[in-house]
């Protein structure tokens, strides 16, 4: 990728004039995740249906000081170069040909870390989107997606934030317009799970979502949570952590059409046919949940974000 001319980038940076940008960084869930095998590059070949949800972090970008500095409301999240949001800012300024830009990134964390909800990937994409908006859309979504692919498999999805069928290692995205805004109840059991750990213990002979994909290929077909929910990673994580099975059973007993672990876990979501049933289920979990469980009542997001998001 070629960087922009220094004069164009400098003028765009000058226009930010110390402004602050407050951005929503949404979580995602995997409504379907089939793993087809390991690739030569070390990643796994997969097919996944991803959608954003109402749960989000808040990111504040401020053009001030010297260099890129990050802070976070959750002290367990690294704020140095290990943080994807910092890496994203570095990549963006490198692409537009700017050095030594003063940027402050504050992440108000609401999405649990290591939860299968894509919080880190979303933060990175939100920083890319926010910087490009601040700089007058110098790059645009296509070039931002190219940068995002370098940062991580889930990051490109969060550039456009629309329900999509992800293929390859997750970077090949096809918009999926046949999804409705189902009410959801999310339950996180209060611990983190390493994605690498889960994939490292996946036994391909025990996966079954590819077979479902043959029966429900998604092409011009509405998503039906009663039949289509599937995640090949779920068996690995729930074998080690029985809370996942317990949460799924409780969600279904409270009226969920279906329940599934998102990504590599451990967060579980229940899909509900109407808001009233979802509210009752959420209230029940609030009363009877274990002390370390966290619960959210939210919805699938099926529309692209507005300019201010």
Contact present, 297 and 183 (Cβ < 8 Å): yes
- Residue 309 pLDDT level (bands cut at 50, 70, 90): low
Catalytic choice (57, 109, 132, 154): 154
Question: How far is residue 256's CA from residue 253's CA, in Å, rounded to a whole number?
Answer: 7
Task: Dig out the tokens for 249 from the structure.
Answer: 């059973």
Rounded mean pLDDT of the chain? 92
Residue 28 known to be catalytic: yes
pLDDT digits (tens, 9 = 90+) for 270-303: 999 999 999 999 999 988 878 899 999 999 999 8
Q: Can you give the C-alpha Rg of the chain in angstroms?
A: 20
Q: Which of 7-21, 79-93, 290-304 has the lowest mean pLDDT?
A: 7-21
**9, pLDDT greater than 70:** no
- Residue 111 pLDDT level (bands cut at 50, 70, 90): very high
Q: In terms of C-beta density within 10 A (0-12 exposed, 13-18 middle, 19 or more buried), how is residue 262 classed?
A: buried
**229, pLDDT greater than 70:** yes
Q: Which ranges in 64-208 belong to alpha helices (H)? A: 84-96, 119-134, 141-151, 157-160, 195-200
- Residue 38 pLDDT level (bands cut at 50, 70, 90): confident
Question: How far is residue 43's CA from residue 30's CA, in Å, rounded to a whole number?
Answer: 18
- Give the pLDDT of residue 213: 87
CB-based contacts of 172, cutoff 8 Å, min separation 6: 166
Q: How far is Cα of residue 129 from the mean position of the Cα atoms in its chain?
A: 14
Q: Which domains does the chain have, with CATH numbers?
A: 6-175 (3.30.230.10), 183-301 (3.30.70.890)
pLDDT digits (tens, 9 = 90+) for 196-225: 999 999 988 778 899 888 888 888 888 999
Residue 154 known to be catalytic: yes
Report pTM.
0.93
């Amino acid at each position: 990728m070629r960087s922009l001319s220094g004069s164009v980038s400098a003028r765009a940076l000058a226009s930010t004039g110390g402004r602050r940008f407050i951005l929503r960084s949404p979580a995602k869930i995997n409504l379907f995740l089939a793993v087809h095998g390991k690739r030569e590059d070390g990643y796994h070949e997969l097919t996944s249906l991803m959608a954003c949800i109402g749960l989000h972090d808040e990111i504040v970008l401020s053009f001030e000081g010297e260099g890129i500095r990050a802070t976070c409301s959750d002290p367990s999240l690294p704020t140095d170069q290990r943080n994807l949001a910092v890496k994203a800012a570095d990549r963006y300024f490198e692409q537009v040909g700017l050095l030594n830009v003063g940027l402050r990134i504050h992440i108000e964390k609401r999405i649990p870390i290591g939860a299968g909800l894509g919080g880190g990937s979303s933060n990175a994409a939100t920083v890319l989107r926010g910087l490009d908006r601040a700089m007058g859309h110098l790059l645009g979504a296509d070039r931002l997606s190219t940068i995002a692919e370098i940062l991580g498999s889930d990051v490109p999805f969060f550039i456009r934030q629309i329900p999509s069928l992800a293929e390859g290692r997750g970077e090949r995205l096809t918009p999926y317009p046949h999804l409705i805004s189902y009410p959801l109840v999310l339950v996180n059991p209060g611990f983190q799970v390493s994605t690498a750990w889960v994939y490292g213990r996946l036994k391909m002979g025990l996966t079954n979502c590819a077979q479902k994909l043959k029966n429900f290929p998604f092409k011009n077909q509405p998503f039906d949570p009663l039949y289509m929910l599937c995640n090949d990673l779920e068996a690995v994580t729930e074998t080690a952590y029985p809370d996942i099975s317990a949460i799924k059973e409780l969600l279904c007993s409270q009226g969920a059409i279906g329940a599934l672990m998102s990504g590599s876990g451990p967060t579980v979501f229940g899909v509900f046919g109407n808001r009233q049933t979802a509210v009752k289920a959420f209230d029940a979990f609030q009363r009877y949940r274990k002390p370390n469980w966290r619960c959210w009542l939210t919805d699938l997001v099926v529309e692209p974000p507005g300019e201010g998001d």
